[in-house]
Amino acid sequence: MGSNKVAVLVLGMAGSGKSTLMQGLKSYTSRHKLSSYFVNLDPAVRKTPAFEPNIDICDTVDYHELMKSTKMGPNGAIMTSLNLYATKFNEVLSIIESKDVEFVFIDTPGQIEVFTWSASGQLIAGALASSMPVIILYAIDTVRSASPVTFASNMLYACSVMYRLRLPIVLAFTKTDLVAADKAFEWISDPQVLADALQDDSRYLGSMSTSMAFMLESVYSNLPVAGVSAVTSLGMDDVIEKIREARVTYNDVF
Ligand code: GTP
C-alpha cells in the first residue's frame, strides 16, 4: 500500500448517473493529466460503455448470451455474470496492480444490490482492499433528492452500503447542471432542517422521521460530500479532492 493508488468503486441507485460520472471522470482526468484507469463491472451495458474502459467485464462474460442460454431473468443473469467474473478477479487485480496510476475508477451494475448484497461484490471489494485503499463514490441523483423523504431514504441506503462493505464513502450529488445541490447540503449539515422538511413532506411516521434525521446526522455529518455535473464538469475537481482526502486518511481508519 505504499503507492498513491486508490480504487474508487462507483455505486448508486439505478439511473443515479454512475456511468455518465465515469465518462465525466475520464475526460476530466485526461484533461488534467491525472493518471487513471477505468474498469467496467456492469455486464448489462448494451454496447461499449461511453467511458471506454481499460478493462470491461463484457469482454469476458456475455450477459445477453447467458440470459438466452439459461433463460434467466435480467437480474439473475447480471448476478451470475458478476459471479463468473469474480472467479477471475485475481487476474484483473494483477493487471490493475501493474499499472502505475493514481486512480482506478470502477463502474458497477445498475441495480446497486447486485454488487452490495452479493458474495461476488464482497469478494471483488475485498480483493481490491487487500491490495490498495478502496473508496466508495456513492452517486446520488440530486434531481430525485428534492423530496426530503427520497433524500433521507437514499442517505440511509448510503449508510447501509458503507456499513455492509466497510469502506469509506464519498457522496457525489450528480446532475447539478439540472438542480443545485444546496438543499441536500443544507439537510446534511442541519438535521433539524431535514427533520422539519420530513415532517412537512410526510406526516405519517412523524417521530420516526425526526429520529431518522438525527440518527443520520451522527453518521453522515462527517462524510465528504461533493456536487457534480458530468455534463459541465463543474464540481469534478471537488470530487477528485474528496477522493484524495479520503485516500490520505484511509490508513488511519482501516
Ligand atoms: P444504470 O447503470 O443504467 O442504472 O444508470 P447509471 O447510474 O449508470 O446512470 P447513467 O449514467 O446512465 O445516467 C442516467 C441518466 O441521467 C442518463 O439519461 C444520463 O444522460 C443522465 N445524467 C447522468 N449524469 C448527468 C448529469 O450530470 N447531467 C445531466 N443533465 N444528466 C445526467
Per-residue pLDDT reduced to its tens digit, 54-65: 999 999 999 989
Distance 154 CA to ligand 1 centre (A): 16
Report residue 48's pLDDT band, with 50, 70 and 90 as the boundaries: low
Distance 25 CA to ligand 1 centre (A): 13
Per-residue pLDDT reduced to its tens digit, 17-36: 999 999 999 999 999 999 99
245 lines ligand 1 (CB under 6 A): no
Per-residue pLDDT reduced to its tens digit, 241-253: 999 999 988 876 6
Predicted-complex ipTM score: 0.97
**Which atom of ligand 1 is least distant from the CA of 178?**
30
Q: Which residue has the cell 458478476?
A: 82
49 lines ligand 1 (CB under 6 A): no
**Which atom of ligand 1 is least distant from the CA of 14?**
4
Question: Is residue 166 left, alpha or beta, with left meaning phi > 0 and alpha meaning psi from -120 to 50?
Answer: left
137 lines ligand 1 (CB under 6 A): no
Q: CB of 8 within 8 A of CB of 137?
A: yes
Task: Say whether pLDDT at 217 is over 90.
Answer: no
Per-residue pLDDT reduced to its tens digit, 201-215: 666 666 777 777 777
The three grid cell numbers given for residue 181, joined into one nine-digit string: 445541490
In this structure, the residue with its CA closest to atom 20 of ligand 1 is: 20
